[in-house]
A and B are shown apart, each in its own frame.
Chain A
């Protein structure tokens, strides 16, 4: 979330797309309601009339999976109606940058698409983009020869077109072998935004197809409604208005998930809704600590603090080579070596020295073999995994394709499930298709964990606020803190390695986890917090922020973005005396406004980075540092005293004058990217249909995302599939239940308010099939079949194309077999193994199925 929940009250328009805050993020609705009370318009784009739609001024009934077409329509509308500020775009974004001559986009495909061998033996990605043509034109480029040949090499990071300088000295003066720092790039720009190859013109051309007629045809939303919504949404371009965009899994759970979000980012940037109060790209995080989990390397291929794993297939075999690739040539990530060396120092302590690359060799490496969720189970099915930890996760219900998952698990020798409850992932062996429990040979260990009232530590909320929580009660006997279990596991493994040797013991043996253990032999979250916050190696002094980090091994820091959250050296053992434990309710009132606080409460806990509450806040002022919307600025240039006034913590180097600061300092270009070469499936978002979809792609002849991950093990899609399973299936979550339901289905008060698994179908489909409200029905496809009660409703509309109706069957996923109070079939029995081209997020929200009455 770029902004904070409490700041949402300043929004004039809130657009919710692919989200349902009233049901899934009810706490956020307090702030949406506050905005509504102040006169904000709320628009919901959702295939289903959700409880959020019930609260909204407008509901656009979109066909599942067509969000990019809708947002591209908005972008076209705002460009056509000149609802943008040229000066802002030229200064704050890469709109004026010229793109390489060879860059091309034809009929749904960008230049550079090449076929590759799948990395998982069971399918996955079969195409990939060579991105050398998706490059900026640089000063000194020979306009005839496009790119320099090296551009496509490092295609997942931000450093295309690197020109090595031969410099191998870091800022602290130490020299690293094989280090070759990149040179700063000079971009060719056209600030009038007229050049046909400038980003703005390319974007304009790219969205040209998405006229209101086209949007209607693809999404099913009538032109009249679309235009009405477009007018409201794009009205926030004016400097005195702010529009917030809220989204959640409705955008993510698609093979075009990452690009749907990017489309919204582009729209919000064009409308100047980033870096201002009430605006933002607001990802609502569903789990109380999912933001924290993501910050600590939730994703395969990452290390804490959004650091990429070294990738040996791209030649990152030594610290020097790795830093050369990942250090930016401009902007804040020029400091990356400090973060990385400090992290290595925190992991390996005194074992990490300049001579051994600070232990770089012991870090895990990305072997490009696809270790994301679906792929893990595909590997498992192929018999490539012996053991498995499901730690605080319930993949049997929560992951896609449950029947497949069950069969895959039965190929394991052992598995460990750590959870509060005896979940479906602890009892899966009772349910393997075609295999009686006594024939399942996997040994299953269940370790009961304690819940958040029974341990202390910090959680990070959706607005990046890290809040400390204290232990309230002792856990039930037998249940343990996850930290204790992890540390004990490590101690035992280390001792075994020490006693018996083994292949490559160093990564485990040299890891310094014992420093997290307190005198009683237990895991100490406070000691861990010191490590995360960072300290001086010599003295142990806690650092005040990542500005103090060094790249010579004299500082250690477990996660640079958290630096400063636990930094009070005077009372090191007292979380309440630390920024993360502070509970001040002071708010900031900006002079010249309506006297109302910004809602950023700087003394309440600590928001990473550096307690900054609203990211990219440089954009609240014009290039010269004058507020765009007086009274709502977050920083401001004080001409008389020649310094920046900060209402929020500035998101740029404040020692520089307005024209010298970096408007968006986290990119190498130091501006926001409307065109982004970092995405795997195109620098602009393109509309593709889902892999399983009965409707042809009307925007191009490329039906689905060419680089989406399609695993063979679980699905067959061809023309027949569409005939056999003509219905579109989608899903939603309910406020009454929590994820896979292990907590809520075991709690009678919560079970009682939503006891039964159900699906929602449009009235028209019910009539066609003779299904009545409340009937027991079966939803099925090649992958599985599930039973539930049916809710026949007008809250889902059929999508009509050329006189033919297409229907959506929608289901929540919270039910399963193992709970003491309520049970139900597992919705993910029918979901496929398709993944998003960028993130591999499974396609939960658009695929095919059919429905019939039970007994027919």
Chain B
């Protein structure tokens, strides 16, 4: 397939990025949670070490009871009676993680530009820019990003950008035994999902559908569902909640409600006020991306290695500059706007 992180299709000698997506097929998912553990492992996320720190969750199977800054992915189990399908009773399983929206509420809500579009379909939170304000969580239709106290940031699934850059699939996809998870071009995944939905319909699952084809202008986590999204507890018409960006007007009541938070946020932002995303430049000779102070900028390190066909420095430079420019511009736009 070529590079899983950036797959430059060369059109008229110009590199354009095609989106990648993850396909989760709930009809092949056996709820083994191997993906959940693989996610913890690849991201080195700690779990409680003491018996007292664990609690029972109703239903007995969905663990942990909530996703958190140290848990980006969990499988949710629901028992359903008389769903519209060939089984009179079913135990359904769905994946709960970031959906990687085309129009992402988290990015729109983020005051610092930490939440950003990576450019390959994924949405990531840059931990260096994140100030832990939790606005992304409020801006997300599913409240996906979760606050993490140990390093004061909000965190979520980032589609394993580190692995993608090494030409590996995300860890959860790699580990899935029955191939309920798949990774590839969004267009390919969509076709596959459509085929599966057709097949499920022919098996009697009349309401089988794809969740994520059009939602939020298209999610990059596509889910094949056997029943209507509501049956899985998924909002069929997700939208960015009222408070999408701080700059945008709100109803007076809601505004009053968030004033406190806002005060706190502006304070914490003040502490970070002098932080500016460094201007970056790429040196094709050393094959590195540097900050103004001459330090290697870690975020681009993986892009540097794998995004471009080797030997084509010109194209390489262009792409990276384009990527960083976009990010920088966006960051500054937003922070200016929001601090005002």
What B residues does A760 contact at CB under 8 A?
Answer: 60
* B76-124 contacts to A (CB < 8 Å): 79, 81, 86-87, 89-93
* A800-856 contacts to B (CB < 8 Å): 820-823
What B residues does A754 contact at CB under 8 A?
Answer: 61, 63
Q: Do B79 and A793 have beta carbons less than 8 Å apart?
A: yes
Identify which of B47-55, B154-162, B238-246, B248-256 touches chain A. B47-55
- Measured CB to CB, the closest approach of chain B to A759, in angstroms, equals 9
* A763-796 contacts to B (CB < 8 Å): 773-774, 789, 791, 793-795
Chain A-chain B contacts (Cβ-Cβ < 8 Å), number = 109
Q: Which of A29, A751, A758, A820 contacts B177 (CB 8 A)?
A: A29
- Measured CB to CB, the closest approach of chain A to B74, in angstroms, equals 8
- Measured CB to CB, the closest approach of chain A to B217, in angstroms, equals 31
Give complex CA distance A822, B41 in Å: 19
A54-B93, A791-B60 are contacts. A748–B49 as well, Cβ < 8 Å? yes
Chain A residue at minimum C-beta to C-beta distance from B204 = A57
Give complex CA distance A30, B36 in Å: 18
B275 within 8 A of A: no
Q: Do A756 and B56 have beta carbons less than 8 Å apart?
A: yes
B33 within 8 A of A: yes
Give complex CA distance A59, B90 in Å: 10
- Measured CB to CB, the closest approach of chain B to A231, in angstroms, equals 16
Give complex CA distance A57, B88 in Å: 11
What A residues does B51 contact at CB under 8 A?
Answer: 821-823
Q: Do B34 and A26 have beta carbons less than 8 Å apart?
A: yes
A29-B178, A748-B49, A750-B37 are contacts. A23–B32 as well, Cβ < 8 Å? yes
Give complex CA distance A29, B87 in Å: 21
Q: Do B178 and A33 have beta carbons less than 8 Å apart?
A: yes
What A residues does B60 contact at CB under 8 A?
Answer: 756, 758, 760, 789, 791, 793
Give complex CA distance A71, B59 in Å: 32
What B residues does A749 contact at CB under 8 A?
Answer: 37, 40-41, 47
Give complex CA distance A26, B31 in Å: 10
Q: Do A49 and B40 have beta carbons less than 8 Å apart?
A: no
Give complex CA distance A435, B54 in Å: 31
Size of the B side of the interface (Cβ < 8 Å), in residues, is: 40
- Measured CB to CB, the closest approach of chain B to A146, in angstroms, equals 53
Give complex CA distance A29, B93 in Å: 16
A517 within 8 A of B: no
Chain A residue at minimum C-beta to C-beta distance from B46 = A748
Q: Do B31 and A22 have beta carbons less than 8 Å apart?
A: yes
What B residues does A51 contact at CB under 8 A?
Answer: 30-32, 91, 93
B179 within 8 A of A: yes
B1 within 8 A of A: no
Q: Which of A54, A59, A735, A756 contacts B54 (CB 8 A)?
A: A756
A49-B91, A51-B31, A51-B91 are contacts. A773–B54 as well, Cβ < 8 Å? no
- Measured CB to CB, the closest approach of chain B to A795, in angstroms, equals 6
What A residues does B56 contact at CB under 8 A?
Answer: 755-756, 758, 774, 789
Give a binary string over B17-50; 1 marks a CB under 8 Å from any A CB, 0 the rest: 0000000000010111110110011000011111
B11 within 8 A of A: no
B10 within 8 A of A: no
What B residues does A55 contact at CB under 8 A?
Answer: 28, 30, 178
What A residues does B54 contact at CB under 8 A?
Answer: 751-752, 755-756, 822
Give complex CA distance A89, B239 in Å: 65
What A residues does B179 contact at CB under 8 A?
Answer: 30, 33
- Measured CB to CB, the closest approach of chain B to A758, in angstroms, equals 5
- Measured CB to CB, the closest approach of chain B to A22, in angstroms, equals 4
Give complex CA distance A54, B179 in Å: 16
Give complex CA distance A491, B40 in Å: 46
B58 within 8 A of A: yes
What B residues does A793 contact at CB under 8 A?
Answer: 60, 79
B323 within 8 A of A: no
Q: Do B177 and A30 have beta carbons less than 8 Å apart?
A: yes
Q: Do B58 and A748 have beta carbons less than 8 Å apart?
A: no
- Measured CB to CB, the closest approach of chain B to A819, in angstroms, equals 8
Q: Do A54 and B31 have beta carbons less than 8 Å apart?
A: yes
B64 within 8 A of A: yes
A640 within 8 A of B: no
- Measured CB to CB, the closest approach of chain A to B330, in angstroms, equals 35
Give complex CA distance A793, B59 in Å: 8
- Measured CB to CB, the closest approach of chain A to B141, in angstroms, equals 26
Give complex CA distance A54, B41 in Å: 27
What B residues does A794 contact at CB under 8 A?
Answer: 79, 81, 89
What B residues does A29 contact at CB under 8 A?
Answer: 30, 32, 177-178
What A residues does B92 contact at CB under 8 A?
Answer: 54
- Measured CB to CB, the closest approach of chain B to A242, in angstroms, equals 20
Give complex CA distance A748, B40 in Å: 10
Q: Which of A23, A53, A748, A820 contacts B47 (CB 8 A)?
A: A748
A754-B63, A794-B81, A795-B79 are contacts. A735–B33 as well, Cβ < 8 Å? yes
- Measured CB to CB, the closest approach of chain A to B269, in angstroms, equals 33
Q: Do A821 and B49 have beta carbons less than 8 Å apart?
A: yes
What A residues does B34 contact at CB under 8 A?
Answer: 26
Give complex CA distance A53, B59 in Å: 17
Chain B residue at minimum C-beta to C-beta distance from A759 = B60
Give complex CA distance A176, B91 in Å: 64
Give a binary string over A369-402; 1 marks a CB under 8 Å from any B CB, 0 the rest: 0000000000000000000000000000000000
Give complex CA distance A29, B29 in Å: 10
What A residues does B63 contact at CB under 8 A?
Answer: 752-755
* A25-58 contacts to B (CB < 8 Å): 26-27, 29-30, 32-33, 36, 49, 51-55, 57
Chain A residue at minimum C-beta to C-beta distance from B58 = A774
- Measured CB to CB, the closest approach of chain B to A773, in angstroms, equals 6
* A570-585 contacts to B (CB < 8 Å): none
- Measured CB to CB, the closest approach of chain B to A167, in angstroms, equals 54
Residues of B at the A interface (CB closer than 8 Å) are 28, 30-34, 36-37, 40-41, 46-51, 54-61, 63-64, 71, 79, 81, 86-87, 89-93, 177-180
Cross-chain pairs A/B with CB under 8 angstroms, 13 sampled:
A22-B32, A30-B179, A33-B178, A54-B30, A54-B93, A735-B31, A748-B46, A749-B37, A753-B37, A756-B54, A756-B55, A821-B51, A822-B51
Residues of A at the B interface (CB closer than 8 Å) are 22-23, 26-27, 29-30, 32-33, 36, 49, 51-55, 57, 59, 735-736, 748-756, 758, 760, 773-774, 789, 791, 793-795, 820-823
Given contacts A22-B32, A756-B55, A793-B79, 14 further A-B contacts (CB under 8 A): A54-B31, A54-B90, A54-B91, A55-B178, A735-B31, A735-B33, A773-B58, A773-B59, A774-B56, A793-B60, A794-B79, A821-B48, A822-B54, A823-B51
Can you list the 3 inter-chain pairs with the closest CB atoms, starting with the nearest? A755-B54, A33-B178, A22-B30
